Amino acid sequence: MTKSSALIEVLDTIVERVATQIQPEIVKRLSFELPVTRDKILDVQEVAEQLGVSVKTLYDMCKKKKIPHRRVGTRILFSSSALDAWGREQDKKNYQPN
């Protein structure tokens, strides 16, 4: 074994030991929990208030398929995350920077 290969072997051993010792701390610092957001289901009244439109206008928008919604029996319900995405889409459509 040459001096350089012996030195490399010693250095590899040191690096391995250090890595083993600091690995838990690195994992602890790097690990994080993503917030879990629950999709909220909203009714017509809630969405109309949120958007600042009348219930009649909102029903009209649903009829014309202008806003994401779902029908459950006779009720019309909205997903808060779908409305958020729709709102961002509307922002893009209605705004064009110079």
* CATH T-level fold of 41-94: Multidrug-efflux Transporter Regulator; Chain: A; Domain 2 (1.10.1660)
Which pLDDT value is given to residue 35?
Answer: 66
Give the Cα separation of 29 and 52 in Å (integer).
44
Whether the CB-CB separation of 50 and 42 falls below 8 Å is answered with yes
Give the Cα separation of 62 and 80 in Å (integer).
15
Find how far residue 54's CA is from the centre of its chain: 30
Banded model confidence at residue 61, pLDDT cuts 50, 70, 90: very high
Q: What is the mean pLDDT of residues 52-77?
A: 97
Q: What is the mean pLDDT of residues 28-37?
A: 69
Which pLDDT value is given to residue 11?
Answer: 87
The predicted model scores a pTM of 0.59
The tens digit of pLDDT for each residue in 15-28 reads 899 888 888 887 77
Inform me whether the pLDDT recorded for 33 exceeds 70: no
